[in-house]
Amino acid sequence: MSQVIVSGIITGSLYALAALGLVLIFKTSDVVNFAQGEMAMFCTFIAYTFMTFVGLPYYIAFPLTIICAGILGVIVYRLIIKPLSKSNVLSIMIATLGLIMILNGLAGNIFGFETKSFPKLINAKNINILGVSLEPNSLLIVLITFAIMLSLFFYFKTMEGIAIRAVAQDVDAAKLMGISVKRVTVTTWIISSMLAATAGMLIAPTTFLDINMMSEVHLKSFCAAVLGGFNTFVGPAVGGVLIGILENLVGKYISLAWKTVFAFILIIVMLVVRPNGLCGKSYRRKV
Determine contact, residues 164/184, Cβ cutoff 8 Å: yes
64 part of the interface to other proteins, by CB under 8 A: no
- Bridge partners, residue 155, by sequence: none
254 part of the interface to other proteins, by CB under 8 A: no
Identify each DSSP E strand in 111-232 by its residue range.
127-129, 132-134
109 part of the interface to other proteins, by CB under 8 A: yes
Sorted by sequence, the CB contacts under 8 Å of residue 274 that are 6+ apart come out as 280
Site for other proteins in 119-148 (CB under 8 A): none
R_g of the chain computed on alpha carbons? 19
102 part of the interface to other proteins, by CB under 8 A: yes
Q: Pick one of 5, 66, 93, 186: the residue that binds other proteins (CB under 8 A).
A: 93
Site for other proteins in 219-238 (CB under 8 A): 219, 222-223, 226, 230
242 part of the interface to other proteins, by CB under 8 A: no
Quick one: which segment of 42-50, 163-171, 244-252, 266-274 binds other proteins (CB under 8 A)?
266-274
90 part of the interface to other proteins, by CB under 8 A: yes
Min dist CB 240 to other proteins, Å, is: 15
* 97 membership: H or E segment, kind and range: helix 89-111
Binding mask 2-41 for other proteins (x = CB under 8 A): ------------------------x---xxx-x-------
Helix 159-169, helix 136-155: angle, nearest 10: 80
Min dist CB 178 to other proteins, Å, is: 29
Sorted by sequence, the CB contacts under 8 Å of residue 10 that are 6+ apart come out as 138, 139, 141, 142, 244
Min dist CB 232 to other proteins, Å, is: 15
Min dist CB 127 to other proteins, Å, is: 34
Considering only CA atoms, which of 174, 192, 198 is closest in space to residue 24?
192
Q: Pick one of 108, 119, 136, 161: the residue that binds other proteins (CB under 8 A).
A: 108
Quick one: which segment of 85-93, 133-141, 142-150, 241-249 binds other proteins (CB under 8 A)?
85-93
How many degrees, rounded to 5, is the angle at CA 226 between CA 224 and CA 228?
A: 65
163 part of the interface to other proteins, by CB under 8 A: no
Cα-based distances in Å from 250 to 116, 133, 215: 30, 20, 21
Determine contact, residues 228/278, Cβ cutoff 8 Å: yes
Helix 2-29, helix 136-155: angle, nearest 10: 30
Q: Which is nearer to other proteins, 82 or 175 (CB)?
A: 82
Binding site for other proteins (CB under 8 A): 26, 30-32, 34, 80, 83-84, 87, 89-95, 97-102, 104-106, 108-109, 113, 215, 219, 222-223, 226, 230, 257-258, 260-261, 264-265, 267-268, 271-272, 275, 287
